[in-house]
Structure 1
């Protein structure tokens, strides 16, 4: 017969708790060292929770903290007897000779609290795993609880200005020299980067266009170039298989036609050498692809969290937004897109990274004589226009107008139709349809400030 383990006492350090409280009543200035990081709930002993909460209240009201004031406040709340009376408060003071090590004691108390939280969460997970019906929601809740505990365990304090000055000088010097002037992740398209200063942390960027206008090609070019610069990039490819995405990236990097690459009809050893060099360059890239069919926003959030935890994550690409499955089961497309767009914006904020999502446009654009896209053309836009920080719309005159010149062939206008924190404008890029890749041309127009 198997032996049962005796009940374990939850992690706690009563000596450290006593030392913290004693030090606080011993030195009136000790509270400022820990008040922002130590909470009443961090204490294991309920008596200590009440005493510390009383001390915090005194501190909040700028009242002195010592044996007499703490005892008086506890007595006023009819808690003095419950915590052991003045005798126990005196014992706390006598338990520590000095307040010099209060931060060490405080950290010990906090660490035990985190361990208790982990035990409680694991017990909660154990129970919910048996009874919870919605598996995806359960996984999301579990991850969120663990992330919350991890977040609470980190201490962030003021940093002395002089400690940040060397880094500030280096950053400003680079800006002055024109090096690394972008504040966000570079797209490597000069005009776009000049207008946006790169893709910014916590921003949701929408790239919208009609079919076959190069939305995916632009997103993959941005992903490839960012990863070549060392940025960790994740791609959710909901439309194409991982193999198709990889072939496109190789063709763009090697600068050879995609069709010849996919059929093996390369132009001799020269083009194969380009492919080999591209493979060598790309093998060093921190670029990750997921081609799971129709994931929902919870699954995507879980995978993105994991990638950030394991590898770090600087940029997330979603191709494309309308294929992300909603969780509500609503038949209303507007509600579905709203759920997805808010989920992606929440993900950008949670992970503090730019999220670039491709979106189709509604058929309304096809009904106009001049088919230049507008914000309102975002298909079943729901709250897309509201949630997005940046909206880029692609327009090709050669696909729209019979009077397009030879110079305008494969010329794509990238319209910055929304830019929450900066200027609007447009950028012209050349699209190489065979190599499914864009390249810079020196034409940028910035809209006048309102």
Structure 2
């Protein structure tokens, strides 16, 4: 159509002249088709700057509810651009190059894909410059990761949908729920907790599991992930406090009903030795991963989550141990760091459609009150954790028996069901195992002075 060379690097970079021309030609033929491309394309997606100028002119006219044809688009272009784009003759050629706008969406997808490929190549060049420059490995790794994360986020687009367009899918979902072919969410393996959550753990949600040290939040989170993995839901536990080997030992104790302390010193009973092999085989077959890197940044968390194919459950233990990215402003407070991490984790849950169990410490004020039940004000260091969470679950000790501890669980914030639910959980520390308790809990006191029998 034209021998115009848009840029000196035209032969070195991915682009499709035909697709760009076809997008513009289709719109000149049928202005009503504009919406089929508008959600995909921006001016900068066009490699040929002439085509970007023409797209801009068409967009302005269509959005102003004015006709966009060869003559009106030519008139809408700045005078300095009219001859630069090839004048009326080139606009006429564009209008004649496609018979209809039937394939406009596909043309737009090609233009967008080529634009993203060019952005990726440019980012790779920038990353190479960073890698060759000054700075530590950690600093450069964080900067490079941020560059590629920006490209990925730029490539993700969403458009508003009328509820009518969503109803068919939702009605199918309602019927499937009624027939029992799907569940509202992923089960925690604890029926009482599932009920309090409105049917389990929903995708795209952040559940904060908060307690004082030693109550058992890590153990509970790991059991939830193990149960999910047994149901086929891939899980990842990011532990900034415990080593991988310790977590594996706890998982073996849980799955094999093996005394945790006896497993550590090798003094198992004969029945426990018999259960050890099947428990190890069962654990090894699960889609469950563990990472024990300390001082995770938001970039670290995103990178690890994206690395696990099909990830559905992510537990982070615990948020106050996360670190600021290298090169963060010196005036960044701890609250600023946790706010950024909290918002980033919420975005990650939505991006990947996974459930995040975000473990959190509570401040010491809860131990100074007559009632041991925590409140939302007891979350440490950042109000953003409370704001961003879909569910907040508090754990605290109520009573200790020879075989187990009674742990109270309250859900003061719950976007999945009615907030304020309270239930009792039995924690068998010697097996690292949790279950519903037959006891009802209320605003009860805790039992102090008990020995630590693996209840961590």
TM class, shorter-length: 0.7 to 0.9
1:278-293 to structure 2, matched below 5 A, reads 278-293=279-294
Partner residue in 2 for 1:208: 210
Partner residue in 2 for 1:31: 34
Measured after TM superposition, the shift of residue 239 of structure 1 is 1.3
**Equivalent residues of 2:243, 2:292 under 8 A apart:** yes
Partner residue in 2 for 1:304: 305
Partner Cα separation in structure 2 for residue 58 and residue 39 of structure 1:
15
Measured after TM superposition, the shift of residue 162 of structure 1 is 9.0
Partner residue in 2 for 1:12: 15
**Equivalent residues of 1:25, 1:66 under 8 A apart:** yes
Partner residue in 1 for 2:316: 318
Partner residue in 2 for 1:125: 127
Matched, 1:143 2:138: no
Matched, 1:428 2:429: no
1:188-227 to structure 2, matched below 5 A, reads 188-197=189-198, 198-227=200-229
Q: 1:40 to 1:321 in 2, by over 3 A?
A: closer
Partner Cα separation in structure 2 for residue 387 and residue 27 of structure 1:
44
Q: 1:15 to 1:301 in 2, by over 3 A?
A: closer
Partner residue in 2 for 1:438: 434
**Equivalent residues of 1:337, 1:381 under 8 A apart:** yes
Partner residue in 1 for 2:453: none
Matched, 1:411 2:414: no
May I ask how many residue pairs the two structures share in their alignment?
427
Partner Cα separation in structure 2 for residue 48 and residue 326 of structure 1:
43
User: Relative to structure 2, which stretch is displaced further, 105-114 or 409-418?
Assistant: 105-114
What are the Cα deviations for residues 254-308 of structure 1, in whole angstroms up to 9, with x where unaligned? 122111222222221x32332222223222321110011333332222222222x
Which consecutive unaligned segments of at least 5 residues does structure 2 have? 1-7, 444-456
Helix, strand or coil at the partner of 1:430: strand
**Equivalent residues of 2:123, 2:148 under 8 A apart:** no
**Equivalent residues of 2:127, 2:144 under 8 A apart:** no
Partner residue in 2 for 1:403: none
**Equivalent residues of 1:392, 1:417 under 8 A apart:** yes
Partner Cα separation in structure 2 for residue 71 and residue 107 of structure 1:
26
1:95-134 to structure 2, matched below 5 A, reads 95-131=97-133, 133=135, 134=139
Helix, strand or coil at the partner of 1:89: helix
Helix, strand or coil at the partner of 1:435: coil
User: Relative to structure 2, which stretch is displaced further, 87-96 or 243-252?
Assistant: 87-96
Measured after TM superposition, the shift of residue 10 of structure 1 is 2.3
Which consecutive unaligned segments of at least 5 residues does structure 1 have? 1-5, 400-405
Partner Cα separation in structure 2 for residue 297 and residue 102 of structure 1:
39
What are the Cα deviations for residues 109-163 of structure 1, in whole angstroms up to 9, with x where unaligned? 33332222222222222223333643243133133134135436xx879799799
Helix, strand or coil at the partner of 1:235: strand
Partner residue in 2 for 1:21: 24
Helix, strand or coil at the partner of 2:413: strand
Partner Cα separation in structure 2 for residue 99 and residue 334 of structure 1:
52
Partner Cα separation in structure 1 for residue 377 and residue 356 of structure 2:
21
Helix, strand or coil at the partner of 1:373: coil
Measured after TM superposition, the shift of residue 444 of structure 1 is 7.0
Helix, strand or coil at the partner of 1:422: coil
Q: 1:169 to 1:200 in 2, by over 3 A?
A: closer
Q: 1:19 to 1:219 in 2, by over 3 A?
A: closer
- TM-score w.r.t. the length of structure 2 is 0.82
Helix, strand or coil at the partner of 2:207: strand
Measured after TM superposition, the shift of residue 426 of structure 1 is 0.6
Helix, strand or coil at the partner of 2:156: helix
Output the aligned Cα RMSD.
3.2
1:165-244 to structure 2, matched below 5 A, reads 165=168, 168=170, 171-178=173-180, 180-182=182-184, 184-197=185-198, 198-244=200-246
Measured after TM superposition, the shift of residue 446 of structure 1 is 11
Measured after TM superposition, the shift of residue 429 of structure 1 is 1.2
Helix, strand or coil at the partner of 1:253: helix
**Equivalent residues of 1:397, 1:408 under 8 A apart:** no
Q: 1:407 to 1:416 in 2, by over 3 A?
A: farther
Q: 1:30 to 1:395 in 2, by over 3 A?
A: closer
**Equivalent residues of 1:136, 1:299 under 8 A apart:** no
Helix, strand or coil at the partner of 2:311: coil
Partner Cα separation in structure 1 for residue 369 and residue 346 of structure 2:
31
**Equivalent residues of 2:39, 2:159 under 8 A apart:** no
Matched, 1:277 2:278: yes
What are the Cα deviations for residues 227-274 of structure 1, in whole angstroms up to 9, with x where unaligned? 111111111111111111011111111122111222222221x32332
Measured after TM superposition, the shift of residue 95 of structure 1 is 3.1
